Amino acid sequence: MKKWVGGSLIVLSMGVALLYWGARELVYEVIGHQPVTASDKPAEPAKKAGVLVDVALAKEQRLAQQVTAVGSLLAQNATTIRAESSGRIAQILFEEGKAVTAGALLLQLDTDLLKAELQQAQAQLNLANSRAHRAQQLRQQGFISRQAQDESSSERAVAQAQVNIIKTKIDKSEIRAPFDGVLGLRHVSVGDYVSQGAEIVSLASLDKLQVDFRVPERYLNQLQVGSPIHLQLDSQPDQTFQGQVNAISPVVDEQGRAVLLRAHVPNPEGQLRPGLFARVVLDLAQLDAVMVPETALAPAGQSQYVYRVAEGDVAQRVEVQVGIRRDGWVQVSGVQAGDQVLTTGLQKIKEGTALQIRSDTQSPTPTAQEG
């Protein structure tokens, strides 16, 4: 009896063991895991990902320092042509708005009366010449005094002067262009009687214009004749015109604390006109500047900051001073050429933020300004 009971217990124990191992293997098959053993190492926690950002390299660039000003275009030569003598207008020989060359005849006053006066004066001169010649012969023969001969010579000189005066009046009846240029609108018509000094028409040379402008006195030591300027006009906003400084005033304006400059601007195609308002950009000294994209700036209050990539790919906040802006880039102090600066995701960044750099593709390099 005892042997039977013992055998039954052995069989039962083996059945329980087989049932346990079968169930264990079934569970592993369902959940796809192997049993954890004491030799297995615990899994490390996943590393936290940084903020995804783009970066650009700070670049050293040689730039021309610039100062901006405003001014108005002026013609180098411009005048209002006026009548030099009184008279009736006989002919108008020009067209409004047309180009003329120096010496071109523009207007002719009536000279009939002057020509008659010239004939009379010429006759008086001929008579005075004859008398002076006869007086010289009589003086040589001793028939008249030296005083009588001198009086005769004086009469001849007066007659000659009168002829010259009338000839000058006739010359002044012809009004000519004093220089090459473009005529404006006329103020007279044929048949008008004009007095000396009456306005006839304006004339301006347009092949080269000039612009006067002022810059603050702090730039005085950097100003020099020949410095390039760039002009932009409201009338032609898509174009930039070039020129150069021609003269610098020796006196500083006490009220505005500014220096007056005059620059010449070539105008070979005649696109510019005197009187146009101009924005002037003056190139000053060359300087070496560290440039970053404008998108790297992170303003805070009155200050400007950039975030650069520090060791371990973390953000480092750097306060910078902003200078010249050029083609989407800006001059800054506080970072070095070659530093990586963040250009996106700045609103998510603070000091020490972990970074995940998406790309180091650089923005276009700022255009160098050579003087």
Question: How many CB atoms are located within 10 Å of the residue 71 CB?
Answer: 21
With respect to residue 44, please indicate whether it lies within any of the assigned structural domains: no
- What is the number of structural domains in the chain? 4
pTM of the model: 0.59
Structural domain containing residue 5: 1-35
Q: Are residues 211 and 72 in the same domain?
A: yes
28 in the same domain as 119: no
Element (H, E) at 314: strand 314-326
- Residue 42: the pLDDT is 54
For residues 195 and 113, membership in a common domain is answered with: yes
Say if residue 124 is in the same domain as residue 145: yes
Are 84 and 175 part of one and the same domain?
Answer: yes
CATH of the domain at 330: 2.40.420.20
Is residue 370 one of the residues assigned to a domain?
no
**Nearest-angstrom CA–CA distance, 360 and 345:** 14
Residue 24 belongs to a domain = yes
Query: Residue 371, SS3?
Result: coil
- 292 located within any domain: yes
- CA dihedral (225, 230, 236, 239) positive or negative: positive
146 with 219, same domain: the answer is no
- Half-sphere exposure at residue 239, Cβ-oriented, CA atoms within 13 angstroms: 9
What pLDDT shows up at residue 63?
Answer: 82
Q: What is the mean pLDDT of each successive set of 10 residues along the chain, which is 371 residues long?
A: 46 50 47 48 57 92 86 94 94 94 95 93 92 86 83 90 93 94 94 95 94 91 90 90 94 89 92 93 86 94 93 92 88 92 90 82 50 35
Q: Which residues pair with 139 in a beta bridge?
A: none
Residues 72 and 210 in one domain: yes
Secondary structure percentages of the chain, helix, strand, coil, to 5: 25, 40, 30
**What ranges in the chain are assigned the alpha helix state H?**
2-31, 112-141, 146-172
Same domain, yes or no: 96 and 171: yes
Half-sphere exposure of 185 (CA within 13 A, CB side): 1
Residue whose pair of structure tokens reads 């950002």 in the numeric block:
53
Same domain, 119 and 57: no
221 and 195, same structural domain? no
- Quick check: is 371 in a domain? no
